[in-house]
Amino acid sequence: MKRLDLNIAERRRVPLAVWLMLLVGGVLSVDAGLRVVSLGDELDRANMRSGTRPRSAMVVSASTADPALAKDLRAAEQVVQRLALPWDDLFRTVETAASDRVALLAIEPDAQKKELAISGEALDYLALLTYVARLSEPGQLTDVHLVRHETKPDDPRHPLTFTIAANWRAQR
């Protein structure tokens, strides 16, 4: 039987000029990087001789000198602080106190003050007080109290709308 010559992916030789250009480009890149580093060091030495601050201190002072940038940095820091709080523990505490006679409408945490406002509806006053008592049990929430409650007269079941305030402590 005759041998089949199946050469699907034909190998192409890379011309020598391509390899040379690649080598020259690599050498030039390394040289440019070394020059940038040496010029930065030279600039730092010149700044030290003249009594001005080094480049790293200039970057920090420039960022704090710009009021818009400082405002953005404070906002970013607040977001990071909010994300670092133990949200799972807080919501787990609120969920474990839940009842089928109480419906939560909103949970509004204030991360800086570590305060929590819970709004909802209860079928009756006893269900509302039971919910407040469950939230007051030792755990994540402290100083739990009923801030406001009123009956909805337009609803035929006359549920109570309420707002509960509480403080929470981080258990880390």
Q: Domain locations in the chain?
A: 16-65, 86-168
Question: Can you list the pairs that 88-92 forms with residues at least 24 positions away whose Cβ atoms lie under 8 Å?
Answer: 89/140, 89/171, 90/116, 90/140, 90/168, 92/140
- Given a contact cutoff of 8 angstroms between Cβ atoms, the answer to whether 77 and 69 are in contact is no
Which pair of tokens denotes residue 170? 């981080």
pLDDT tens, residue by residue, 34-47: 998 888 888 888 87
pLDDT of residue 149: 93
pLDDT of residue 75: 86
| SS3 state of residue 151 | strand
pLDDT of residue 123: 92
> Is the whole-model pTM more than 0.75?
no
Query: Which residue positions in the chain have pLDDT lower than 70?
Result: 1, 6-10, 52-65, 170-172
pLDDT of residue 169: 77
pLDDT of residue 65: 63
Amino acid at 18: V
- Choose which CATH entry (3.50.50.60, 3.40.50.2000, 2.40.50.100, 3.30.1360.100) describes domain 86-168: 3.30.1360.100
Distance CA 143, CA 166 (A): 5
pLDDT of residue 28: 92
pLDDT of residue 134: 92
